[in-house]
Amino acid sequence: MAADHRRLGRELDIFDSDPLIGAGLPFWLPAGAAARHEVESYIHDLERRAGYQHVHSPVLGRRELYERSGHWAHFSGDMFPPLHLGGDDALVLRPSLCPHHALIFKSRHRSYRELPLRVAEIGAMFRAERSGVLGGLARVRAISLNDGHVFCAADQAGEEVAEALRLMVRSHAALGVRVSSYRLSLRGDGGKYAGDDDAWDQAGRVLRGALDAAGVPYSVAAGEAAFYGPKIDVQVVDPAGRESTLSTVQVDFHQPARFDLSYADAAGGRSRPVMVHRSLVGSFERLFAHLIEVHAGALPPWYAPVQLVVLPVAAEQDAAAAAFARDAIAAGLRVEVRHDGSVGARIRDAAGRRIPYVAVIGAREAPRGEVALRLRDGRRLPARSGVEAIALIARMVSDRALELLPPG
Ligand SMILES: [Zn+2]
């Protein structure tokens, strides 16, 4: 049976839910929060090195904001009803971060010299999913999105899309996610799309150009575009063979016009920027639903919730175990010491929790400052010094290796 992230998520203390909180509103338990924090830090750092500036924006906005962006006309069926506070004002739980980021761009005078201006945020957004389709982390009503928007000149959009695709490939590799296919999602029939034909054609050309430059094969899907522009969907497959989308990149001429965005161009006039929307890993809920399943709960060491469990064989080794754990924590590792029960039971418990490394310290190891490492896949390593053991694990973690040991 393929791994089910809902069962594993509960077993591994990653997340759970309570009917009193509500359907589609899971909470993250300490193990899940530790893993998520590590992945968020990685994405934050990857984006910062790629020239992004991070911002924070509120999860609510006035209804007028979404009327302006077009969400109200094209997307209100997926939004929660407005909150009325008296008077004419109504607030809406946001269905996307784009309008806030557009207004962050607009909040300062912008020059062509600042472009491409790359803004990113891990922010909450909301979707009024029907309760029948909700399950675990895969479909939720409160979404934490790895979002970003690049404001650039029209002739810079192609390179920005290509760079977003490269960052996606890099982050997927680090997380142990395999891309199954690329999909170019275009408009379909019907009136649910905003903007004029020229803008759609131009945006489609930019996306095709980036896919061709990346040299990746792709399929074309009509009717899967966002309402404001076409997009590239990066598809992944879960162990049951179901395809889903984590990462997307979109080219948008519509919202910059709706919000009347402009910058001072090189010729001394005002020009309208293009908005490239991109999410490298999608929402953290859907990402972790996928990660838990593709790794069958055995997350790679760098973002495993607990990376190392220390087991003193008997009370005589408690002091040695405590000293070793202190050194491992000081080296940046997430560590637990377990005392209760037989060594065999404690090793089985650690394996059941998919903890990558177990360090056993017995009467032979303690006086020499050594530990005997066991890996979660059952492999046992010869005793080695505590210093060497910590260096080995710390290296696998800092390399963001998907394996437990270096090759060879
Ligand atoms: Zn957006």
Query: pLDDT digits over 306-364, tens only?
Result: 999 999 999 999 999 999 999 999 999 999 999 999 999 999 999 999 999 999 999 99
**Ligand 1: centre distance to CA 252 (Å):** 9
Distance between CA atoms of residues 402 and 306, nearest Å: 15
* 54 CA distance to ligand 1 middle (Å): 14
Q: Two tokens at 392?
A: 């080995």
> What H or E segment, with its residue span, contains residue 388?
helix 386-398
Distance 293 CA to ligand 1 centre (A): 27
pLDDT at 199: 87
8 A C-beta contact, residue 253 and residue 274: yes
Q: Distance from the CA of 334 to the center of ligand 1, in angstroms? A: 35
The reported pTM is 0.95
Q: How far is the CA of 1 from the centre of ligand 1 (A)?
A: 37
Distance, CA 212 to ligand 1 centroid (Å)? 23
The alpha carbon of 98 and the centre of ligand 1 are apart by a number of angstroms equal to: 4
Strand order through the sheet with 308-312? 335-337, 308-312, 357-361, 370-375, 384-385
| Both structure tokens of 151 | 């404001």
Query: Does the N-terminal peptide bond of residue 407 adopt cis geometry, omega within 30 degrees of 0?
Result: no
Distance from the alpha carbon of residue 390 to the mean position of ligand 1, in angstroms: 42
State which residues of the chain have pLDDT below 70: 1-2, 191
Alpha helices in 176-307 (DSSP H): 197-214, 254-258, 284-294
Per-residue confidence (pLDDT) for residue 191, from 0 to 100:
66
pLDDT 10s digits, 109-168: 999 999 999 999 999 999 998 887 788 998 999 999 999 999 999 999 999 999 999 999
Helix/strand/coil percent split, the chain, to 5: 40, 25, 35
How many Å lie between the centroid of ligand 1 and the Cα of residue 277?
4
Q: What is the distance in A from the centroid of ligand 1 to the CA of 149?
A: 6
Q: Ligand 1 centre from 219 Cα, in Å?
A: 23
For residue 278, how far is its CA from the centre of ligand 1 (angstroms)?
Answer: 7
Q: What pLDDT shows up at residue 1?
A: 45
Distance 380 CA to ligand 1 centre (A): 48
279 CA distance to ligand 1 middle (Å): 8
| Ligand 1 centroid to residue 216 C-alpha, Å | 24
Distance 105 CA to ligand 1 centre (A): 13
Whole-number Å distance, alpha carbon 348 to ligand 1 midpoint, is 45
Please tell me whether residue 95 adopts helix, strand or coil conformation.
coil
CA of 389 to the centre of ligand 1 (A): 45
* Ligand 1: centre distance to CA 124 (Å): 13
Ligand 1 centre from 220 Cα, in Å? 21
Residue 251 C-alpha to ligand 1 middle, in angstroms?
9
Helical axes 197-214 vs 157-175, angle rounded to 10°: 50
User: Residue 4 C-alpha to ligand 1 middle, in angstroms?
Assistant: 30
Q: How far is the CA of 248 from the centre of ligand 1 (A)?
A: 10
